[in-house]
Amino acid sequence: MRPVATGGRCRAAVLISGSGTNLQAFIDRVALGTLSLDIALVVSNRADAYGLSRAAGAGIDAIVIPHGDFRSREDFDRQLGGELESAGIELIILAGFMRILGGEFVRRFEGRIMNIHPALLPRYPGLDTHARVLAAADSHHGSTVHFVTEELDGGPRILAGRIPVRPQDTGETLQSRVQSVEHRIYPEAAQWFADGRLEYLDGAAWLDGQCLTEPVVRDFDL
């Protein structure tokens, strides 16, 4: 169980490796007052991640932990974990963070790590999801927020956003629409966690006391 925040907002860290449009969606919603989360820290494993400029623009503390500086994945994970604990982070939001987190890290923060994956999981874990959807001529595509476990893109699913695949779609058009979906569903799922409505228990996601055997699904006509 996650520690209960004492009176304040849930302290979250957003972990990035690149452009950080999902980070920006969180920043914008906090600024609008529609997301009650304290984005206390942004961590990037790459010094050139554009998301770092977004954090700076919003006055959010940001650090770079270059993975190349570490002898092993475990050493990197330990450094990352130490930074998150020092900052009193309660929720770890992976947003385009292109590093696989090892078992020791995942167990250390069990039930407090979320990821968003650009596919309707359990379909298409891994890379190149848009091309795979087109190759399979799927009728729908989307994105899924899930808790992180040791299984890559395999943790309990929380919230999925679904869009129709249109005949004229390309990898680029799908990517753009899927990202728009992500910017809506990821803050919503994080809000559930911050409100104490969502938790990870016995290897499953629970929302309002109900075990989510399937994720909540939102349809978007984008």
Active-site positions read 117
Q: In the set 40, 54, 60, 118, which binds ligand GRF (CB under 6 A)? A: 118
- Is residue 167 within 8 A of residue 159, CB to CB? The reply is no
Site track for ligand GRF across 181-210, x = CB under 6 A = -x----------------------------
Alpha-carbon span 155 to 148, nearest angstrom:
5
Interacting span for ligand GRF (CB under 6 A) from 111-119, 120-128, 159-167, 189-197: 111-119
Q: DSSP state, 68?
A: G
Alpha-carbon span 219 to 147, nearest angstrom:
21
Does 144 bind ligand GRF (CB under 6 A)? Our answer is no
Nearest Cα to Cα of residue 7 among 38, 31, 32 = 38
Q: In the set 9, 21, 73, 125, which binds ligand GRF (CB under 6 A)? A: 21
Structure tokens, 42: 């942004």
Structure tokens, 171: 């990898």
Q: Which is nearer to ligand GRF, 16 or 35 (CB)?
A: 16
Q: In the set 95, 120, 185, 194, which binds ligand GRF (CB under 6 A)? A: 95
CB within 8 Å of 175: residues ≥ 6 apart: 118, 130
Interacting span for ligand GRF (CB under 6 A) from 12-20, 66-74, 105-113, 196-204: 12-20
Does 18 bind ligand GRF (CB under 6 A)? Our answer is yes
Side chain identity, residue 23: L
Does 143 bind ligand GRF (CB under 6 A)? Our answer is yes
**For helices 21-32 and 171-194, what crossing angle results, to 10°?**
40
Does 149 bind ligand GRF (CB under 6 A)? Our answer is no
- Which residues contribute to the site for ligand GRF (CB under 6 A)? 16, 18-22, 95-96, 116-118, 143, 179, 182
